[in-house]
Structure 1
Amino acid sequence: MDTALFFEQFGYLARSPDGVQKLRKLILELAVRGKLVPQDPDDEPASELLKRIEAEKQRLYEVGEIQRPKTPPPIKEDEIPHRLPHGWAWERLGNILTFEYGKSLPAKARNDFGKVPVYGSNGVVGVHEEHLVAGRGIIIGRKGSAGAINVSLESFWATDVTYYVVPPNDLYFDYTVLILKSLSLEDLSKGIKPGLNRNEAYVLLVAIPPFAEQQRIVAKVDELMQLCDQLEEEQAQCDHLHERAAKSTLFHLTNASSKSEARQYWQYAEQYFPELFDRATTVEDLRATILQLAVQGRLVPQNPDDEPASELLKRIEEEKQRLYQAGEMKKPERLPPLKDDEKPYEIPQGWEWIRLGAVMKQMGAGSTPLGGRKVYVEDGIPFLRSQNVWNDGLYLDDVARISIKTHEKMGRTHVMQGDVLLNITGASIGRSCTVPSHLLEANVSQHVAILRLIDTRMAEYLHVCIISPIFQKTIMDVQVGVSREGLSMTRLRLFPFAVPPQAEQRRIVSKINELNQLCDQLEVEANHRRELSGRLLDSIIYHLFEPAAEI
């Protein structure tokens, strides 16, 4: 298929997933294949300039300016990847370019008042007053960012983690840069030995066009790359506006002045769900908003016939006293009453603000057995660590295990059905889940807290509260320790907790499950669109490079 398809579909290609990035690579590939600009039969063929390059190498060798050039192996027919336009020629990279070693220049030896750029493997690392290379050149990462290409348009210093290249006069400088970028030299550095070996690069095949066509190609590439920049900027603006629309809708949902206003915004959001929430970031924002509405009492309607939360809390208080008197729990701690300025938002009638510790039978961190990992066994009792606790449940694929004997010694860290687990240290602080009914026995590490409710029927709702944005913010605000990555049980007991009627708790959890399924569906559809768009782009690229007879 001819290249006209490429220009016809240019805008569509850019809008595909990672489209502009793929488009830039595609432009480069078309350029070095001779498919970007028309050929001119009056151009001097590449074979002539290659002769001059070879003659110049011999002259430089004879006058002692370079070492004797190594001759790469001749090109075999089965090495040629594709046909070239008339006037072009295949050549080994080492026959047209020399990768010269850079020279060490430690930071303490540099003159920071100089104006000569000093290049490391991935760009400028400082300045100096002297240059290693006079005039412009190409710097290639040898170690570190091996294969990275940088260009200096002035005299420069290339350090010892780089190669530098000064193209011969018969190669257009900017086209030489295109050649090197098209070779993906970084792939050569991914072997057993780190770094780029120039001898491996020298045997690579490169397509050389006539000098005049090299200039035309560079001009066209510059034009198309500028268009890519413009499309990238437009895409970023479009994405920004889309996210603003989604965030604005969600903001109005959570900040509506009344329930009726919140319902209006919710109806609007439902109407435009597929348009507003068509990517992972906005769907994640939607999930967070659903949780926020839930704990504010705005997700499901209140029922005046529901028993108020105050009655539930009375029964919990009575049960606490009974358990204490029966020796089944410690003496209940007297918690300070919640002040008005500690209540983060207004709650509906029938709800109650309390401190989290008021509904707990047990709150405490787990512990790690003596010996740590050395006491883990192949087949035993699950030992839950922070990496097993996720907001959507326990992940047990890599769960550690301990012996029954160790398990029995660690009675304080046993988990029970209906417990809520909460990560209290490290990068995963705030992640939470409930203990499922199928997990009959387990222990938790010191990085995980057990929250055991007096009334375990509240577990699912408590989990909703913990993973809601406002509870997560509270966790982040009260972390302790030098690295601020720890949550103390003392502070956690004092967290404000809005308790709805028990019947409403069930409705809230049910509604969240329903809406999470919708969010899952939105994510699946968004991923499907992304995958389909990517496949269409790959198909167009395939047709650009495959002969019509083979399609």
Structure 2
Amino acid sequence: MNKHTAELLEKHFDTAFAAPDGIKKLRELILTLAMQGKLVPQDPNEQPAKELLQEIEAEKQRLVKEGKIKNPKPLLPVMEEEKPYVLPQGWEWVRLRDICHDWGQRVPNSRFTYIDVSAIDNKSGRIAEAQIIGASDAPSRARKIVHPGDVVYSTVRPYLLNVAIIEREYEPEPIASTAFAVLHSYNGVLNRFVFRYLRSPVFIGYVERTQKGVAYPAINDGDFFSGLFPLPPSDEQHRIIAKIDELMARCDELEKLRTAQQGARLTVHAAAIKQLLNIVEPDQHQRAQAFLAEHFGELYTVKENVTELRKAILQLAVMGKLVPQDPDDQPASELLKEIEAEKQRLVKEGKIKKPKPLPPIKLEEVPYALPQGWDWVRLGSVGSFERGKSKHRPRNDKRLFDGGTYPFVQTGDVSRAKKTKYQILTCGNFYNDFGLQQSRLWEKKTLCITIAANIAETGFLGMDACIPDSVVAFLSVDPALSKLVKVFIDVAKDDLERFAPSTAQKNINLEIINELVFPLPPSSEQHRIVAKVDQLMDLCDSLDQQIDAVTSKQAELLNALINTQSQSNTAEQLQSASRSTAQVIDLATYRASIGCYTFSKLATAQYFGRTAAAKVLYLAQAHVGLELDLKPEREAAGPLDTWIYDFERQGQDKHWFEVNEKTLANGRKKTEYRCLPALSEPAAKAEALMTLGQKAEFDRLIHTLADKKTEEVEIIATLFAVWNDFLIDGVQPTDAQIISDVRENWHERKARFTPAELGRWLDWLRRENMIPQGLPPRTVQQSRLNLDG
């Protein structure tokens, strides 16, 4: 193994530890390097594989003469175009049948040890569950003779990686399934080297290309034994296996350490969350928060902990422990009177049915003590739960839907709302006027709860819509109360699912929801709670996105390193790959080069400034695909990564450009740039860092935006970002959804753009072929962990 390979492999160990599936990929790389002759150094004094093949041929003829094996059919010579890569001096490409034989088959006539394909533990590569079977019970596939030292390879899916060495004597004698290929190595060929090769990516790739069949793909013996095999000198085989064993042991230790670290994170976080939920005194609350804040970076690197944090936030909200109480707030008992008066008014106006009396709450139903000013009440007393109406039978009658225009939201649409911040934005069908007569149109922002199929899924209507009987609408006196009821239902989801009978179609009735015991806070505190929940859920979303971004980047980096190493075959290629890898790793240089290239192209454009620069760089990543690792926030002027400010300071320090600020006629300030001669060097470097396709598309993007006013670039980038965010979340949005999200869920200043104006720019994006593909990054709204207000 040369020095470069050793250093790069060490780098892989560090990278693999953090990357998802990193250790698995590292194992694959080790086998790839081993089979390319790059894992250990060659010794020119060793007997070359060509001479070993002559000795194998002599042994083969002896075994045929002694009647121990059949005379094998001649194999086609290995052609140059078949060889997947160049081997080191002293190695030879051969076919598998050249270096091994099997022992034939026989029908068992007495008790035997049966080795089936499912008996292999494919992780350890060992036989785990061999059976002793009598001859009369032998399956028809129990035929192949095996001896200690043989390698057995399952040739059928889903067992293609079930490979093992027969490591011991079996009593009674073993017989293997005909679904195995049996390989007994000739002298000078190490069976453990054969075993490792059969599990290497190069041979796995050969099998996957060669196997036949659709339902149960398999590779037949003829194709299997015609597969190529890289044969090293005999002594080098032993050195390679020793190095593989050493490196695989390191992988095992890394795996144990990673598992232990992740387990520790989960355990420590669970303890901290438990303490947070069980707090009684304020100082305990503060200590638990301080612990989470101190260890925030360590604890929230795994999604399981973020999931538990979400649950804890919701639980704290309904326990009255998320925000401080205000003794001046009107107590919940007064609010309850107002709600009751409102319900009586709605009943009198015929808008809701007169509710049935609810049973009083028993002491044993109260799960915990509430803060002063709160009350335990039945959930049905804080609003009105109404089932979706569908009087017509059958409900799938085409007469309800033909030419329909009224959205008909079903349980699946409510379930999908979790991907769009619990806004229900999809519907599978539309009622027509006849359908509407059989139902009811519920207003946008109404809380919906599923009571069939997926129990207790929640979401708010993103448009006026009809709902079926399997969905319940909640009508309340205050949107904040609706949001708090949603939080409560989310917390109670597991309990509600237990109420559902174990039938093919799970469902719960409305009475169960109405009689749930609900902790009602004062009205003012409800508003503080839902605001804090929204803030902290945004934080959790941001954490999830950061974890996704980090793991994606780690996987990408590892793949780049592995592909660089495994695909290169000469020292010169290795050095070139090393330079390329260094460029990938040095994110700061890469970003700066792309930034300089952007400025060099746009600095003379009439409207180019900081706002446009930030938007162009966002689109460089999200549209062109340049790996800038930006994390843009939903700012007033559109997607913005604060890296732009660091880049401005760097550009001035290195004399790439000047940063100037001027006051416009409307009183607003604009930051502009003046390019300096030193800018040309990093800008030129950017061209080498982009593929031809990336450069062509980036140049087209720059040319397209060069004459656009600042506000126009803002609209373009914001529409693109919103559309792209939907795609990342798994939603194919309508134009109306994109426009609504821009105006309502971004920044209040976006409301100045009319729907018609935004619609025209969406058409422009399509005409210019700037259609998002769901590439990262997703825009985020930054928040901090702060449970106390």
Please give the TM-score of this superposition, normalised by the length of structure 1: 0.86
1:255-279 Cα offsets, whole Å, 9 max, x none, are 1122332133224423432232122
Are positions 1:494 and 2:515 aligned together? yes
Task: Give the partner amino acid of 1:404.
Answer: N
Task: Give the partner amino acid of 1:174.
Answer: R
Look up the match of 2:411: 386
- Conservation of the 8 A alpha-carbon contact between 1:149 and 1:181: no
Please give the residue correspondences for 1:308-323 in structure 2 after superposition, counting only pairs within 5 Å: 308-323=331-346
Are positions 1:15 and 2:40 aligned together? no
Quick one: which of 444, 449, 454 aligns to 1:422? Answer: 449
Secondary structure of the structure 1 residue equivalent to 2:185: coil
Are positions 1:443 and 2:467 aligned together? yes
Look up the match of 2:457: 431
Quick one: which of 150, 154, 157 aligns to 1:144? Answer: 157
- Conservation of the 8 A alpha-carbon contact between 2:103 and 2:146: no
Structure 2: distance between partners of 1:513 and 1:103? 71
- Conservation of the 8 A alpha-carbon contact between 2:455 and 2:493: no
Distance 1:165 1:485, change over 3 A: farther
Distance 1:59 1:99, change over 3 A: closer
Distance apart, 1:335 and its partner CA: 0.8
Are positions 1:350 and 2:341 aligned together? no
Look up the match of 1:128: 132
Structure 2: distance between partners of 1:59 and 1:387? 70
Secondary structure of the structure 2 residue equivalent to 1:317: helix
- Conservation of the 8 A alpha-carbon contact between 1:138 and 1:165: yes
Distance apart, 1:484 and its partner CA: 9.4
Are positions 1:288 and 2:322 aligned together? no
Task: Give the partner amino acid of 2:116.
Answer: V
Distance 1:456 1:514, change over 3 A: closer
Structure 1: distance between partners of 2:295 and 2:338? 44
Distance 1:456 1:503, change over 3 A: same
Please give the residue correspondences for 1:232-381 in structure 2 after superposition, counting only pairs within 5 Å: 232-364=255-387, 370=394, 372=396, 380-381=405-406
Root mean square deviation of aligned Cα: 3.3
Structure 2: distance between partners of 1:225 and 1:281? 28
Are positions 1:66 and 2:66 aligned together? no
Look up the match of 2:95: 92
Structure 2: distance between partners of 1:378 and 1:104? 69
Look up the match of 2:558: 537
Look up the match of 2:756: none
Are positions 1:180 and 2:204 aligned together? no
Structure 1: distance between partners of 2:55 and 2:424? 66
Task: Give the partner amino acid of 1:92.
Answer: R
Aligned residue pairs total 537
Task: Give the partner amino acid of 2:132.
Answer: H
Are positions 1:25 and 2:28 aligned together? yes
Higher relative contact order (CA 8 A, sep 6+): 1
Task: Give the partner amino acid of 2:115.
Answer: P
Structure 2: distance between partners of 1:24 and 1:94? 26
Structure 1: distance between partners of 2:397 and 2:223? 45
Secondary structure of the structure 2 residue equivalent to 1:227: helix
Moved more, 220-229 or 233-242: 220-229
Distance apart, 1:180 and its partner CA: 0.7
Distance apart, 1:102 and its partner CA: 8.4
1:87-146 Cα offsets, whole Å, 9 max, x none, are 1111233443568998999xxx997xx644333486666513467423133332333315
Look up the match of 1:523: 544
Structure 2: distance between partners of 1:417 and 1:52? 83
Distance apart, 1:452 and its partner CA: 3.2
Task: Give the partner amino acid of 2:11.
Answer: Q
Secondary structure of the structure 2 residue equivalent to 1:9: helix
Moved more, 176-185 or 446-455: 446-455
Q: Which runs of 5+ in 1 are unaligned?
A: none
Structure 1: distance between partners of 2:455 and 2:94? 58
1:464-488 Cα offsets, whole Å, 9 max, x none, are 22113xx123223433234794333
1:43-67 Cα offsets, whole Å, 9 max, x none, are 2211122234445556666769436
Distance apart, 1:336 and its partner CA: 0.7
- Conservation of the 8 A alpha-carbon contact between 1:188 and 1:200: no
Task: Give the partner amino acid of 2:297.
Answer: P
Look up the match of 1:404: 432
Q: Which runs of 5+ in 2 are unaligned?
A: 122-127, 136-141, 577-789
Look up the match of 2:217: 195
Structure 1: distance between partners of 2:459 and 2:360? 28
- Conservation of the 8 A alpha-carbon contact between 2:96 and 2:227: yes
Structure 2: distance between partners of 1:206 and 1:378? 65
Structure 1: distance between partners of 2:281 and 2:237? 67
Look up the match of 2:489: 466
Task: Give the partner amino acid of 1:494.
Answer: E
Structure 1: distance between partners of 2:287 and 2:565? 50
Distance apart, 1:164 and its partner CA: 3.1
Distance 1:479 1:42, change over 3 A: same
Distance 1:385 1:533, change over 3 A: same
Structure 2: distance between partners of 1:60 and 1:195? 34
Task: Give the partner amino acid of 1:30.
Answer: L
Quick one: which of 181, 186, 209 aligns to 2:232? Answer: 209
Secondary structure of the structure 1 residue equivalent to 2:4: coil
Distance apart, 1:323 and its partner CA: 2.6
Distance apart, 1:82 and its partner CA: 2.8
- Conservation of the 8 A alpha-carbon contact between 1:91 and 1:206: yes
- Conservation of the 8 A alpha-carbon contact between 2:452 and 2:508: yes
Moved more, 244-253 or 51-60: 51-60
1:416-444 Cα offsets, whole Å, 9 max, x none, are 33432223334x323211223xx122323
Structure 1: distance between partners of 2:353 and 2:241? 79
Structure 2: distance between partners of 1:488 and 1:9? 59
Structure 1: distance between partners of 2:322 and 2:281? 13
Distance apart, 1:166 and its partner CA: 2.9
Task: Give the partner amino acid of 1:435.
Answer: L
Look up the match of 1:46: 49
Moved more, 168-177 or 532-541: 532-541
Moved more, 260-269 or 345-354: 260-269
Structure 1: distance between partners of 2:106 and 2:482? 65
Distance apart, 1:239 and its partner CA: 1.3
Look up the match of 2:617: none
Distance apart, 1:510 and its partner CA: 1.1
Structure 1: distance between partners of 2:147 and 2:437? 74
